[in-house]
Amino acid sequence: LGDRTLRGKAALVGVADLVSPTGELALHGRALEAAVIGAALDDAGLTIDDVDGIAAGGMPTGTAEYFAIQPRYVDGTMVGGSSYELHVEHAAAAIAAGLCDVVVGVYAATPRSDRNRRNGGGYRPMPGPNPAMEWELPYGLRMPMAAYALAASRHMYEYGTTSEQLAQIAVDTRRWAALNPNARYRDPITIDDVLASPMQTSPLHLLDCCLVTDGAGAFVMASAERARDLPKAPAYVLGAATCGTHSMITEMHDLTTTGGSVSGPAAFGMAGIKPSDVDLLMGYDSFTITALLHLEDLGFCPKGDGGAFVEDGKLGPGGSLAMNTNGGGLSYTHPGQYGMFLLVEAVRQLRGECGERQLTDPKIAVAHGSGGVLSTMGTVVLGTEETL
């Protein structure tokens, strides 16, 4: 990749998230953003006055105005749950190019407690673009889960993947959640529990699906030089890449291969690593099938072998590939766009801040986000000082 490389140019220097085991937070809106941005800046040893760049999905100008930031770098990229991995990629490039010095990224959403507020509540179909209104939603497509169900249907047909194998991902993710006092669900579950949970849109059962919780997260990024002067160990961006393949599921040409098959190798190539070098995979688990596709597309196992790969429980505590150590979107939190929480846990693990679920001396963590309906993948490779 030559001079296009971002390897080691920028680092995540502060992170924070606000999540409750009840699934609900008392704060919402700007107050929640303020709390989580403040916590991330404290974590970084910086103040709001140091910030000259902002990343938030949609319209970041409102956030910037509210906190009196006059940014010289603005990233409003909104591609769904992976937006936050794309924000890190873009911020690393902007910092490397000298466009700005300190970027704050933020995400806050309270879909669970909004049910109790005026104008909230009830199931609302994802407001699709016109093509989905005309060509998908009239068929009663339950969004977003049914889009993933169609991918799972095809994966089962092509590769013989079973509901038991998908369930193993939910079981192992719950084993990690049991070690996280902030997780929404911590009680152990079995494959039988997953299969006995109500079918939602086949082949996905309730326990194949992520939670709906409140949650907020933020990160602070700075140049590698500046990072070294800050109190906590930096998590350096070693590689980052994006690949979008479609917007609505009808247009996903190969339902069993995501853009992760492009963004993964590109980010790993920039970082100079291979899958076996990865100590922690934070792989977006909106549904069990989502995580299974990441394992294949990022090269942890060959295409089609994901079911057999996960069967022995290797993704759980003590296994050979630690995945989603916070308990994931399946058991920790999922406010609608989960990508921010992948980054927060990756940084905390690299720093050794994860308590009972802490991995032994991890050096390389991958945050791999999926946005839309398997539509836009963003891969970020993070590493400790010694990986530079």
Partner 1 sequence: VTVLEPPITSVAEPFWAATRRGELVLQWCTSCERPIWYPREVCPACFGSTLEWRAASGAGVVHAVSVHHLPGPGRSADDVPYAVALIDLAEGVRVMSNIVNTAPDGVTVGDAVQVTWLPLSDGRNLPQFEPAA
Which H helix or E strand runs over 297?
helix 288-297
Question: Is the CB of 216 or the CB of 249 nearer to partner 1?
Answer: 249
Active site residue 284: yes
Count the neighbouring beta carbons within 10 Å of the beta carbon of residue 160: 11
Amino acid (1-letter code) at residue 151: A
DSSP assignment, residue 1? -
Name the catalytic one among 159, 185, 284, 338: 284
Cα angle, residue 343 at apex, residues 339 and 346 outer, rounded to 5°: 135
Q: Which residues contact 26 (CB under 8 A, 6 or more apart)?
A: none
Residue that the structure tokens 């994860």 belong to: 354
The continuous run of DSSP H or E covering 44 comes out as helix 29-44
CA dist., res. 69 & res. 91, Å (int): 16
Q: Which residues in 162-256 belong to E strands, given as ranges?
A: 199-201, 204-205, 215-223, 235-244
Decide if 332 is catalytic. yes
Helices 163-177 and 288-297: angle between axes, nearest 10 degrees? 100
Token match 């500046």: residue? 226
- The residue (of 24 and 251) whose beta carbon lies closer to partner 1 is 251
* Nearest CB to partner 1, comparing residues 99 and 137: 137
Token reading at 281: 């995979």
Nearer to partner 1, 95 or 145 (CB): 145
Q: Interior CA angle at 357 toward 351 and 361, to 5°?
A: 40
Can you give the binding site for partner 1, defined by CB under 8 A?
A: 125, 130-131, 133-143, 146, 149-151, 153-154, 157, 198-204, 249-251, 255
Nearer to partner 1, 143 or 237 (CB): 143
Catalytic residue among 107, 148, 332, 338: 332
The one-character DSSP state at 234 is P
The residues annotated with a catalytic role in the active site are 284, 332
